[in-house]
Amino acid sequence: MMRFILPFVVFVVLAVFLAIGLNLNPREVPSPLVGKPAPAFTLPQLHEPAKSFSTADMKGKVWLLNVWASWCVSCKEEHPVLMELSRQNIVPIYGLDYKDKQADAELWLKKGGDPYTLSVSDTEGRIGIEYGVYGVPETYVIDKQGVIRYKQIGPVTPQNLTEKILPLVAELQAK
Amino acid sequence: MRYLLILMLGLLPVFAHAGEAKDMAADPVLEQRMIGLAEKLRCLVCQNESLASSHAELAEDLRREVREQMQKGMTDQEIIDYLVARYGDFVLYDPPVKKSTLVLWYGPFALLLIGVGVLVYQLRRRRSQIAEPQISAEEARRAAELLEQSDKPEELNKKDTQA
Amino acid sequence: MIPELGNFALVVALFLAFTLGALPIVGAARNNAVLMGVARPLALGQFVLLGFSLFCLGYAFVGNDFSVLYVAQHSNSQLPTVYRISAIWGGHEGSLLLWAFLLSTWTLAVAIYSKHLPEEMVARVLGVMGLIAVGFLLFMLLTSNPFDRLLPAAADGRDLNPLLQDPGLVIHPPMLYMGYVGFSVAFAFAIAALLGGRMDATWARWSRPWTTVAWVFMTLGIALGSWWAYYELGWGGWWFWDPVENASLMPWLLGTALMHSLAVTEKRNAFKSWTVLLAITAFSLSLLGTFLVRSGVLTSVHSFAADPKRGIFILSFLVVVIGVSLLLFAWRAPKIGLGGKFDPLSRESLLLSNNVLLSVAAASVFIGTLYPLFMDALGQGKLSVGPPYFEAVFVPLMIPMVLMMGLGPLARWKKVDAPELARRVRWAFGAALLIALLLPLTMGKWSVMVSVGLLLAFWIITSVGLSLRERLAGRDDFMQRLRGQSLSYYGMQLAHLGVAVFIIGVTMVKGYETERDVRMDVGDVLNTGGYEFRFNGVTEEQGPNYVAGKGHVTISKDGKVVTELYPEKRQYNVSGMPMTEAAIDAGLLGDLYVSLGEPIPDTDGAWAVRVYIKPFVDWIWAGCLLMSLGGILAISDRRYRIHNKRAASAPLEEKTA
């Protein structure tokens, strides 16, 4: 009698899915922007608002765009990792200071050190929306053609730096 | 000091003149359209709330973005496409019908067809299988027992209520 | 010391649950009266111990014992006493303890009200419930002990989430859990029947009242939760299709199906294997709900803090309980007989069609709730499934269900003469149709949605009326006929009327609510929906553990004051969380709902104010209340009461045995 075993079979399939589900993070949303050109922007620099920075300036370079803010708690967590990375001088890190006050942001960098080649201010968070930012910090790896290759959601850790970001950067730089 | 303040606040209405309340939104019609759309969109940073009801800052920014794009004359679909391009299908509470969502959209109706089909099949089969009321001696005895059980107290109850 | 005693009681309760899950079941298999006889005392012991444990946790809360981690996380010395008590179930660990306690309550209830049942049946039912208790107690002791100490003790607690500091939330969780846990009784009866191989109309008769009681609790629990969301979240929504809400809706839908299929099984001894499967599934979905809420696999507003260890434990527990039950079903069900004969068109077949629709509706909620998880697990990306989906899929499934709901009680058992039935209902249906088409016109706006909703509601009402007329009208004494109908008949009709009332509420509020989001200076008025709302400003008020801005709004109609409303915006001292307390003037024909938004900066006391007029919204919950009352009437039927009488008079039992 096959039909009486059917409920059990359905349940086994469900249990497998639930088991896989336990190891997934429902809150992590992959970006559809990976593999697409990074949205272009021109924004005032944090330290010298009179000057601006434009994504067009970065053509031909592999670079990291790190979204941060002085009010962001987990940014503190990744900050030493970024400091270390900038000392190694492997890849330039550009900061997008997201929805922040200039004074707070400068104070924050003064206290904790400034790992960024330069930071730009996205005071109203509009560029954040262009990039699909939904939680700070986020880090984008952008290649020489200006295409987003990877997006790190949440803090950069030594682990995902050595396992994901740095190998990718090396590969992109070699191209 | 605070009591004085409360007192003053309490007295204020007596002096204040009655103006007609103004809508919070500059353009109530557009706002209505924005809310209608935002109800179908998910606030990304919240646990599980629509863009329309969330107080999160990102939700406010996104509402502003939607409002501005509506002012620019973009259609709802264009705005949805804009957001999906940046945040993915995750932002939609109303997932688009495509290959991977076929089961989601048509699964329940397929189940309904199967359910009705199985029911009809079973009912027909029963009719041919049970030619006569098939009750074993044991079942018949138990049924009789049951009837007896439910009858007796019923009479008792009737007496109770009549008394 | 007291928390340690509570903890110790938990450990002993676990031991008793083990024994309860083992000895009586073995006893039933070997026909050993001694082993079966321990079931009742063990059930009592378990209840006493878990009650004591719950009391100990309550004692720690009331006494502000912040050396208990759970208390420190969910209470505060400023918290009013009533909320300190409800804080017992304000978090994961404590709500589990409540779960376990309520399970022991149901177990004890079965032990007490089962004197008329065969001993081996009682032994098996209590044994199965004991095994479920083992799972929950182990879960609590291994991963989520509410008595864990915090050393050194906290100076003060982190406070209960302000959203939960509300009278509605004091009783909503116990009600809902009574429902969830209550389905374990029907489940245990089903498993006991499968184990014993005895599956007949008497089995259905025994589990029917238990299922109905659980369903009543669940209906009330869900309604309370929805009502709470309506007045507490500040924007007047009452159902959000959130995973946690869906987790309660699924077992409710299957529980509803189960009540109806039990009717077929009891009356006609038919479709027994289906009924058993429903009993297993309804409780399985209760357990699945627990998993979804506590494992963090889905994002929900209501979910508890996630911990993978807990997720793994509950999943293993689910696999054991549900897997074993379904295997047992697969093994034993083929031997279950077919039962009485009936035609493809009969009351039986109508009830079964209702079962198909309710099950498919539950399946649609299930698919929608878990689809994001399926997609993610298959690497197909993330997506969200929300209200627009459920409204598009669930609602159309309910339309044929309600249409059949009118026919079911009018149809005869065994065989329905279709043309004859159509003749009987034509006036009832015609009247419903006429009302549905015309009534929206009096409201000023006609729409298909409103008309369809009203058609469904009035179809139920007119068909109930028809049924009453057919049963009560006659030349002989009306009172005698009135008394002649069974309470379960009245219960059913009342519950069905409850559905009609519910549908009217949903339809009217969806079709005719008005919402205004305005900026109001002190003294400003807002004219909307025929009412004048006058804003008299906001004053500061000190609450027990919060500071509130208390607004004052005077509402008048045609120059006469209707009511004064005082919506609040609270800021809780400890968490700093702002809370909106809407003010509602509830009425039979609708609610006037005012909530405060934010103060407008740089003004002389102006605020953003939201005003809603929600016609017939309270009918939504009134409908649920009527459904529950119907359930209570149904189980008060003398058919079920005889058991107690018989239990009281032992000689009678011997005579029939």
Q: What is the pLDDT of residues C136-186, one digit of tens each?
A: 999 999 999 999 999 888 989 989 988 889 888 889 999 999 999 999 999
Q: What is the ipTM of this complex?
A: 0.89
Q: What element of type H or E holds C23? A: helix C2-30
Residues in chain B within 8 Å Cβ distance of C352? 119, 123
Q: Do B44 and A29 touch (CB under 8 A)?
A: yes
Distances (CA, A) of C600 to C518, C519, C538, C554, C608: 11, 8, 12, 20, 7
Q: How far apart are CA C180 and CA C293, in angstroms?
A: 13
Q: Do C517 and B31 touch (CB under 8 A)?
A: yes
Nearest to A134 among B44, B65, B85 (CB): B44
Q: How many CA atoms lie within 13 A of C272 on its CB side?
A: 30
Confidence of residue C645 (pLDDT cuts 50, 70, 90): very low
CA distance C292 to chain A (A): 9
* C-alpha B141: how far from chain center: 49
Residues in chain B within 8 Å Cβ distance of A125? 57-58, 61
- Asked if A134 has any chain C CB less than 8 Å from its own CB, the reply is no
pLDDT number for residue C270: 82
Residue from C383, C390, C401, C637 whose CB has the most chain B CBs within 10 Å, to mutate: C383
Q: What sign has the CA pseudo-torsion C334, C338, C343, C349? A: negative
Q: What chain B residue is nearest to C608 in terms of C-alpha separation?
A: B24
Whether the per-residue pLDDT at C199 is higher than 80: the answer is no
Residues in chain A within 8 Å Cβ distance of C319? 15
Residues in chain B within 8 Å Cβ distance of A128? 61
Q: How many CA atoms lie within 13 A of C181 on its CB side?
A: 27
pLDDT number for residue B130: 63
- Asked if C6 has any chain B CB less than 8 Å from its own CB, the reply is no
Find residue A120's DSSP bridge partners. A45, A96
Q: How far apart are CA C146 and CA C9, in angstroms?
A: 12
CA distance B72 to chain C (A): 23
Task: Name the more confident of C646 and C413.
Answer: C413
For the range C71-74, what are the long-range contacts, defined as Cβ-Cβ under 8 Å and sequence gap of 24 or more?
A: C71/C157, C72/C150, C72/C153, C72/C154, C72/C157, C72/C158, C73/C157, C73/C158, C74/C157, C74/C158, C74/C159, C74/C160, C74/C161
Q: What's this model's pTM, rounded to 2 decimal places? A: 0.90
Q: Which residue has the tokens 């909503």?
A: C172
Q: How far apart are CA C196 and CA C190, in angstroms?
A: 10
Residues in chain C within 8 Å Cβ distance of B116? 353, 356
Nearest-CA neighbor of C298 among C172, C221, C382? C382
Q: Do B146 and C645 touch (CB under 8 A)?
A: no
> Helix (H, G, I), strand (E, B), or coil: what is residue C569?
strand
Q: How far apart are CA C339 and CA C357, in angstroms?
A: 23
Whether the per-residue pLDDT at C650 is higher than 80: the answer is no
List per-residue pLDDT tens for chain A, 175 residues long: 578 899 999 999 999 999 998 888 777 777 888 889 999 999 999 888 899 999 988 889 999 999 999 998 888 889 999 999 999 989 999 999 999 998 999 999 998 899 999 999 999 889 999 998 888 899 999 999 999 999 998 889 999 899 989 999 999 998 7
Q: How far apart are CA A92 and CA A114, in angstroms?
A: 12
Considering all CA atoms of chain B, what is the largest pairwise distance in Å, rounded to the nearest integer? Answer: 91
pLDDT number for residue C235: 74
Tokens representing A15 are: 């249990």
Residues in chain B within 8 Å Cβ distance of A31? 86-88
* Strand-strand pairing, B22-23 and C546-557: unpaired
For the range A170-174, what are the long-range contacts, defined as Cβ-Cβ under 8 Å and sequence gap of 24 or more?
A: A172/A62, A172/A141, A172/A143, A172/A144, A173/A62, A173/A91
Angle C409-C415-C421 from CA coordinates, rounded to 5° = 55
* C-alpha C461: how far from chain center: 24
Residue from C274, C319, C332, C384 whose CB has the most chain A CBs within 10 Å, to mutate: C319
Q: What chain A residue is nearest to B61 in terms of C-alpha separation?
A: A125
